[in-house]
Amino acid sequence: MDIQDEDILHFPDALYGFEQEGRFVLLPLDPNIESPMEWLQSLETPALAFIVTDPFIFVPQYNMVLSDSGKDLPKIESTESVAIRVIVTIPKVHTEMTANPVAPLVINQQNNLARQTVLTSAEYDTRHYLMPQEKIEKA
């Protein structure tokens, strides 16, 4: 796979539970179809990839406030340069897919520095269903 240097996301603090992983790239879930999901592919370990998505697509009222220390590492100066992604879990019954809005990935698109942060408010669960409840119940 041909990855350009400007596409590499640098996680100086790594992802929780994956301390040896500091470089990733976002790739389309399937290059042949449009999808709100992407792969967060490790450049250190080829077998390691996470499915991620923009939480605002599924939870328009998603509320996250970064502390000053949360802004420091990716060197965020304005919200326009920030992309937010959450890690998605897709079980066999895809309507039961969940995301973790408690530990979003904060990406500074200007310098490609990124950080996984933990929100301290109890507003969300680590397994937030992405599909409406009526779709989950019908499955």
The band of 137, judged by pLDDT with boundaries at 50, 70 and 90, is low
Domain presence at residue 139: no
Domain presence at residue 134: no
The band of 10, judged by pLDDT with boundaries at 50, 70 and 90, is very high
More confident residue, 39 or 64: 39
Residues 91-135 have pLDDT tens digits of 998 889 999 999 999 999 989 999 998 887 767 888 888 877 665
Domain presence at residue 12: yes
Integer CA distances (angstroms), 128 to 57, 60, 87, in order: 13, 13, 11
Domain presence at residue 135: no
Domain presence at residue 124: yes
Distance CA 136, CA 102 (A): 21
The band of 63, judged by pLDDT with boundaries at 50, 70 and 90, is confident
Domain presence at residue 136: no
For the cut 70, the answer to whether the pLDDT of residue 40 exceeds it is: yes
Q: Which of 58, 52, 119, 120 is nearest to 83 (CA)?
A: 52
- What was the pLDDT predicted at 67? 57
- Indicate the DSSP class of residue 40: E
Question: What residues have CB less than 8 Å from 118, skipping those under 6 apart?
Answer: 16, 102, 103
Task: Give how far the C-alpha of residue 99 lies from the chain's centroid of Cα atoms, to the nearest Å.
Answer: 9
Domain presence at residue 48: yes
Domain count, the chain: 1
Indicate which CATH number applies to the domain containing 56: 2.30.290.10
Q: pLDDT over 70 for what percent of the chain?
A: 83
The band of 85, judged by pLDDT with boundaries at 50, 70 and 90, is very high
Domain that holds residue 63: 5-129
DSSP H helical ranges for 1-139: 55-58, 68-72, 133-138
Tell me what the pLDDT averaged over the chain comes to.
86
Domain presence at residue 52: yes
Which tokens belong to 106? Answer: 């904060």
- What was the pLDDT predicted at 71? 47
